[in-house]
Amino acid sequence: MTARPPAQDGKGPAAAAARLTGRPATGERRLSGALAEVTLNGGQLVVVKRADDLGAVRAEAAGLRWLADTGTVRIPAVHGHDERWLVSDRVPSGRPSAQAAVRFGRDLAALHATGAPHFGAAPPGGLEDAYIGLAPMRNVPGTDWPRWYAEHRVLPYLRRAVDDGTMHRTEATVVERVCERLPELAGPAEPPARLHGDLWNGNVLWGADGHAWLIDPAAHGGHRETDLAMLHLFGCPHLDRVLDGYQEAAPLADGWTDRVGLHQLFPLLVHAVLFGRGYAEQALAAARSALAG
């Protein structure tokens, strides 16, 4: 699909890009219902994203800038935003390679190492009531990861899944037992890491420059193994090489592979709330595996 001239009604992605960047838009190409590629005067391509939930754009923009400020992973520059629209760089697409994957692993380790003030820390300018995808996510500060993870990343979505009928009350007790045992299951204590927070493969763009670029963060202070567990959950090209690069830069604590399911409880329950029973069953399987381990 080729770019077309922008609509002249003063609405839509091209108008938003022009208003937020101060540069005329000469064309637009719809990528999805919420995304468009817009050509600015001079030929620069930007991606324009629309959100219906007030605060979602502000949270995403703050997250992108917080991650970019580290100078570690590649993050598209934010050119402007308001309550509905976000304008950022377009990443020219390439192909994933083993070399790029190793580099991504090292960069991700460097990102995590920049840290956060506490677990649940929101990016500067971000929101306490933020989002992960289309689901609400509260950034509430904590100093003890097992307790914080249970109270603010697992149990809220478990309760919602039960209330919605996606998970039976009797099944939920399995996840609740995991939360009770988190202090013994969580492994060695670690300081808060600066997380992307929604690191599934769809939010990793393999650029033409040979680097992996990260988009659509739910950035917050958390445990670094949570980002890695998300990469495992939904698949990532050359994941073994990503992990090689990560371990070379910042070795993970012993037993981290046994804790992957524990960290996947958060995204699986989010997906259960958003997309239904299939993910609830996966969350139950991850909980049972964590208890058996």
pLDDT tens column, 238-270: 999 999 999 999 999 999 999 999 999 999 999
Write the pLDDT tens digit of every residue in 20-63: 999 999 999 999 989 999 999 999 999 999 998 888 999 999 99
Backbone dihedral angles phi then psi of residue 102, each to the nearest 5 degrees: -60, -45
Distance CA 6, CA 10 (A): 9
Average pLDDT score over residue span 157-164: 98
Residue for token digits 């996947």? 264
For position 7, what pLDDT does the model report? Answer: 56
For position 8, what pLDDT does the model report? Answer: 53
* Torsion sign (Cα): 200, 71, 87, 17: negative
Residue 44, domain extent: 12-89
Number of domains in the chain: 2
Distance CA 191, CA 112 (A): 10
Whether residues 83 and 134 fall in one domain: no
For position 4, what pLDDT does the model report? Answer: 61
Query: What is the number of helices (H) and of strands (E) in the chain?
Result: 10, 11
For residue 121, pLDDT over 90 is answered with yes
Res. 158 pLDDT band, cuts 50 70 90? very high
In 123-257, alpha helices (H): 145-149, 155-163, 169-185, 224-234, 239-249
- Residue 217: strand, helix, or coil: coil
The size of the chain, in residues, is 293
For position 234, what pLDDT does the model report? Answer: 84
Write the pLDDT tens digit of every residue in 278-292: 999 999 999 999 998
Residue 112 domain flag: yes
CATH number at 57 reads: 3.30.200.20
Query: Is residue 198 flagged as an active site residue?
Result: yes
Angle at 77 between CA 74 and CA 81, to 5 degrees: 140
For position 235, what pLDDT does the model report? Answer: 86
What percentage of the chain carries pLDDT values higher than 70? 97
- Measure Cα distances from 247 to 10, 81, 104, 254 in Å: 50, 36, 12, 11
Whether residues 26 and 103 fall in one domain: no
Whether residues 143 and 287 fall in one domain: yes
Residue 28 domain flag: yes
Residue 237 domain flag: yes
For position 10, what pLDDT does the model report? Answer: 58
Distance CA 277, CA 46 (A): 37
pTM, to two decimals: 0.94
In 22-163, alpha helices (H): 56-68, 98-113, 145-149, 155-163
Residue 4 domain flag: no
Whether residues 58 and 145 fall in one domain: no
Contacts of 22 (CB under 8 A, 6+ apart): none
Whether residues 68 and 113 fall in one domain: no
Residue 188 domain flag: yes
Distance CA 12, CA 27 (A): 12
Whether residues 178 and 223 fall in one domain: yes
Boundary residue ending a domain (65, 89, 113): 89
Distance CA 140, CA 196 (A): 16
Distance CA 273, CA 171 (A): 15
For position 61, what pLDDT does the model report? Answer: 96
Contacts of 186 (CB under 8 A, 6+ apart): 145, 146, 149, 223, 259, 262
- Residue 45: strand, helix, or coil: strand
Write the pLDDT tens digit of every residue in 58-109: 999 999 999 999 999 999 999 999 999 999 999 999 999 999 999 999 999 9
Residue for token digits 């979505």? 157
Whether residues 118 and 178 fall in one domain: yes
For position 9, what pLDDT does the model report? Answer: 52
Q: Active-site residue among 107, 198, 216, 227?
A: 198
Write the pLDDT tens digit of every residue in 129-140: 999 999 999 999
Boundary residue ending a domain (89, 117, 140): 89
Tokens for 57? 């754009």
- Measure Cα distances from 138 to 152, 156, 218 in Å: 7, 9, 10
